[in-house]
């Protein structure tokens, strides 16, 4: 290091990868690492997830681009699950994951038996709320702990004084009404065990009151004409407090959303990447930009809250509406740039020939452009409307890259 140059260390940016396309988006827009699951034992059975072969391909893709890959193996297995879990761990033992994410001591023990060299991260489902618990896991060989979502900033600040392990913290995404993800609502109400990856999300349903002596008579406690959504939480967003989290010793900033779409992954990652890079350049002059917060409002969300960071959530942290908030909609992905300068777009939502589109790239790059026409990819035939799954050719006056996303202001229904 040259004299007079200070190197500012910033946390890892950790993004969800529910499938290969989401992994590509996360890496393209600047994630340092991704977390993903196989088709078994990963607490997100309803996500697309990866086959054994797909896991190897995902790790190779990410590693070739300088990103790490963490595998979720964080279910709470019953006795009947143990044999299958051991077979699964044996099948994937040769894949060079950068870490496994575990929550259950029995799973940790099995990983140590099958892959003793494997780096271990502790899931938020382990509910680590104090440094002594973290130190216990450190003694079991865990290298990183994902802190419970119920922790305040003051709680987090005390960890690094007593530990020699990495701290990971959720900073953005949906929150359920449970204790750091340990929810029984789905099991009780639908028979689908959230702690084995089968959550039916009953906390998002509408509810009404029924008096015991009058079965079948429903009395709505209305927040709107669709009912009351008494279990809904606003989404977590800690973008404005990155300096405080860095100062508290957090090593990895985690974004929730393995079941979210590629627009969500790309949009959130690019904002947090930009914020972290600007902080690294000059912590003294760093300030959150309004445009970053506006970007996060353009994606589908339930409003934003700081969760438990500054104390127990209050009434303002709950979301009593059924619908998501969003001002823009995702319409396509740039797949390639042709030799003649045109681009090929894979359409994901209807595009009209006169739409005003916005192309969003890495580093907060953004270009608005009103189409004057479009053609089919195959025969360059003029189109007035393009539908999902079509591939079209556009001619635009600026540079974009494959995997850049295209959006427009939300059309009225």
Give residue-wise pLDDT tens across range 344-363: 999 999 999 999 999 999 99
pLDDT tens track for 205-252: 777 667 777 777 766 565 555 555 666 778 899 999 999 999 999 999
Give me the CATH code for the 12-180+232-311 domain, please: 3.20.20.380
Partners of 392 in the beta sheet?
345, 376
- Give the global pTM: 0.86
In the chain the first and final C-alpha atoms are separated, in Å, by 57
Query: What does the pLDDT average to over 114-130?
Result: 95
The pLDDT score that the predictor gives to residue 48 is 67
**Do the domains at 12-180+232-311 and 328-409 have one common CATH topology?**
no
Residue percentage of the chain with pLDDT more than 90:
67
Supply the pLDDT for residue 59.
Answer: 98
- Separation CA 19–CA 187 (nearest Å): 26
3-class DSSP assignment, residue 334 = strand
* Rounded Cα distance, 377 and 384, in Å: 14
Average pLDDT over the chain, rounded to an integer: 88
Task: Give 2's pLDDT tier (boundaries 50, 70, 90).
Answer: very low
**So where are the chain's domains?**
12-180+232-311, 328-409
What percent of the chain is modeled with pLDDT above 70? 85
Tokens 């988006």 found at:
25
What does the pLDDT average to over 31-53?
81
Most confident of 50-59, 74-83, 206-215, 315-324: 50-59
Is residue 332 scored above 80 in pLDDT? yes
> In terms of Cα–Cα distance, which of 329, 322, 333, 332 is closest to 300?
329
What is the CATH code of the structural domain delimited by 328-409? 2.40.30.10
């Amino acid at each position: 290091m040259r004299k007079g140059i200070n190197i500012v260390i910033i946390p890892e940016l950790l993004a969800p990868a529910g499938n290969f396309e989401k992994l590509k988006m996360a890496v393209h827009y600047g994630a340092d690492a991704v977390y993903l699951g196989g088709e078994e034992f990963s607490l997100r059975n309803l996500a697309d997830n990866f086959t054994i072969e797909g896991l190897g391909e995902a790790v190779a893709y990410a590693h070739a681009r300088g990103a790490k890959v963490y595998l979720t193996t964080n279910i709470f297995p019953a006795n009947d699950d143990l044999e299958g879990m051991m077979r699964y761990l044996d099948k994937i033992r040769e894949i060079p994951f950068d870490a496994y994410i575990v929550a259950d001591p029995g799973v940790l023990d099995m990983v140590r038996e099958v892959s003793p060299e494997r780096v271990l991260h502790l899931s938020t489902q382990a509910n680590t709320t104090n440094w002594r618990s973290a130190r216990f896991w450190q003694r079991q060989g865990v290298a990183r702990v994902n802190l419970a979502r119920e922790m305040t900033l003051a709680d987090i600040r005390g960890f690094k004084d007593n530990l020699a392990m990495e701290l990971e913290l959720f900073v953005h995404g949906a929150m359920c009404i449970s204790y750091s993800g340990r929810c029984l609502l789905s099991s009780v109400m639908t028979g689908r065990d959230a702690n084995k990856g089968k959550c039916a999300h009953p906390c998002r349903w509408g509810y009404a009151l029924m008096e015991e002596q009058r079965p079948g008579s429903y009395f709505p406690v209305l927040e709107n004409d669709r009912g009351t959504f008494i279990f809904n939480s606003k989404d977590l967003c800690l973008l404005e407090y990155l300096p405080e989290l860095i100062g508290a010793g957090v090593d990895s900033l985690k974004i929730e959303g393995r079941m979210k779409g590629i627009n969500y992954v790309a949009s959130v990652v690019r904002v947090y990447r930009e914020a972290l890079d600007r902080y690294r350049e000059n912590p003294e002059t760093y300030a959150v930009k309004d445009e970053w917060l506006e970007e996060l409002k353009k994606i589908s969300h339930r409003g934003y809250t700081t969760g438990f960071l500054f104390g127990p959530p209050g009434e303002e942290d709950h979301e009593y509406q059924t619908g998501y908030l969003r001002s823009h909609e995702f319409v396509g992905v740039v797949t390639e740039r042709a030799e003649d300068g045109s681009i090929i777009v894979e359409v994901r939502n209807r595009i009209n020939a006169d739409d005003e589109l916005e192309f969003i790239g890495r580093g907060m790059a953004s270009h608005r452009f009103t189409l004057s026409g479009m053609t089919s990819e195959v025969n360059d035939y003029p189109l007035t409307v393009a539908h999902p799954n079509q591939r079209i050719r556009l001619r635009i006056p600026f540079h974009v890259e494959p995997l850049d996303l295209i959006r427009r202001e939300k059309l009225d229904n």
